[in-house]
């Protein structure tokens, strides 16, 4: 990770088990240039491997969550140059993060920025947030999972309308069509995302990881295989101390103490 990249992505402790990943390239509306994407990939790889981290909040700074790929840096590129970037490796690092990720969308989430938000497991939007895949307006198309993640999240007809027009929608519309989990007043955004992350972080982390893995993998395989995968993961959780603790605490009518084992 270069020094330049470090300066656009920072990590901050938000409380027990919760880390904030913040993008700050506000002068470019947090456009995702290569150093920023490398830094995001490094952050998610690091946090994914840290047992102390149980939930991650991802946000932007200023008017944008992220305004997409860096257009200044892409305008004159050739196809071969785009291939040689191997950007999918950076996106995979975020996709592969086993911890629950909450996107706190504070403003524009456009193009690669909307795709970044869709890498999260939960999306909380401030009421002034805006979403869209405007790539078609600059002669390209989504390239960081947008066609596929949006289709799976929203279904064909809402997705096609957004992708084919490049329309930008507000937070209320995004909530209505299922692109966000919850909309809150702008001033409550970080408090709400943090509270949700702390709530999840207090729950058994191995159960959270299994839920995330099975839900995401299961979406793309035949139902019978997905149900078998779910059953195996469900059974596996009976090997954890947190399962014993959780169920005993319920039966003893006391609060459980989860240790992540
Ligand atoms: N790339 C580079 N610079 C940008 C970008 C961007 N995507 N977005 C904004 N900026 C820069 C502007 O050029 C401007 O710079 P300068 O001050 O040097 O002129 C500065 O940020 C402020 O921008 P605006 O003055 O336009 O700010 P506004 O608040 O008026 O508008 C918007 C904000 C609506 C976000 C507007 O800037 C905009 O429409 N941006 C472009 C949005 C867009 O088309 N995004 C899609 C890009 S394509 C894409 O993401 C493809 C993804 C495929 C793979 C994923 C790889 C990451």
Q: 187: burial class by Cβ within 10 Å (0-12, 13-18, 19+)?
A: exposed
Instruction: State the average pLDDT over residues 122-132.
Output: 98
pLDDT, tens digit, for every residue of 190-234?
999 999 999 999 999 999 999 999 999 999 999 999 999 999 999
Q: Is 70 in the pocket of ligand 1 (CB under 6 A)?
A: yes
Q: Whose CA is nearest to atom 27 of ligand 1?
A: 29
Residue 5 pLDDT: 46
DSSP character at residue 61: B
- pLDDT of 21 higher than 90: yes
Residue % of the chain over a pLDDT of 70: 98
Q: Beta 9-15 vs 18-23: how paired, if at all?
A: antiparallel
- CA dist., res. 17 & res. 200, Å (int): 9
- CA dist., res. 258 & res. 261, Å (int): 8
Which of 5, 41, 64, 69 is an active site residue? 69
Which two three-digit tokens encode residue 214?
A: 């099975």
pTM (predicted TM-score) = 0.96
CB 102 within 8 A of CB 52: no
CA distances to 69, 167, 173, 181 from 177, rounded to whole Å, are: 24, 14, 6, 10
ipTM of the complex: 0.96
Q: How far is the CA of 25 from the centre of ligand 1 (A)?
A: 11
User: How many C-beta atoms surround the C-beta of residue 75 within 10 A?
Assistant: 8
Q: Whose CA is nearest to atom 57 of ligand 1?
A: 69
Catalytic residue status for 135: yes
- pLDDT of 6 higher than 70: no
Q: Hey, which residues does 130 pair with through a beta bridge?
A: 108, 170
CB 69 within 8 A of CB 32: yes
Q: Select from 79, 171, 66, 84 the least CA-distant residue to 124.
A: 171
Which atom of ligand 1 is the closest one to the Cα of 33? 57
């Amino acid at each position: 990770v270069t020094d330049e990249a470090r300066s656009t992505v920072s990590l901050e402790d938000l409380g027990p088990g919760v880390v904030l990943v913040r993008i700050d390239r506000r002068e470019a509306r947090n456009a995702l240039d290569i150093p920023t994407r490398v830094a995001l990939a490094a952050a998610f790889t690091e946090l994914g491997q840290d047992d102390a981290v149980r939930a991650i909040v991802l946000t932007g700074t200023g008017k944008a969550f992220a305004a997409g790929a860096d257009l200044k840096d892409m305008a004159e590129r050739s196809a071969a140059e785009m291939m040689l970037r191997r950007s999918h490796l950076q996106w995979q690092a975020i996709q592969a993060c086993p911890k629950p990720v909450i996107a706190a969308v504070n403003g524009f989430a456009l193009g690669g920025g909307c795709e970044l938000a869709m890498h999260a497991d939960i999306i909380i939007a401030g009421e002034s947030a805006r979403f869209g895949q405007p790539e078609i307006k600059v002669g390209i198309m989504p390239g960081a999972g947008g066609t596929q993640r949006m289709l799976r999240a929203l279904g064909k007809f809402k997705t096609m309308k957004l992708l084919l027009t490049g329309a930008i929608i507000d937070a209320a519309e995004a909530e209505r069509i299922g692109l966000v989990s919850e909309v809150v007043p702008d001033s409550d955004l970080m408090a709400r995302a943090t509270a949700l992350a702390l709530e999840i972080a207090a729950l058994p982390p191995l159960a959270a990881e299994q839920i995330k893995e099975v839900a995401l993998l299961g979406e793309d395989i035949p139902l019978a295989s997905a149900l078998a995968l779910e059953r195996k993961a469900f059974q596996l959780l009976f090997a954890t101390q947190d399962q014993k603790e959780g169920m005993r605490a319920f039966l003893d009518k006391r609060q459980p103490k989860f240790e992540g084992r």
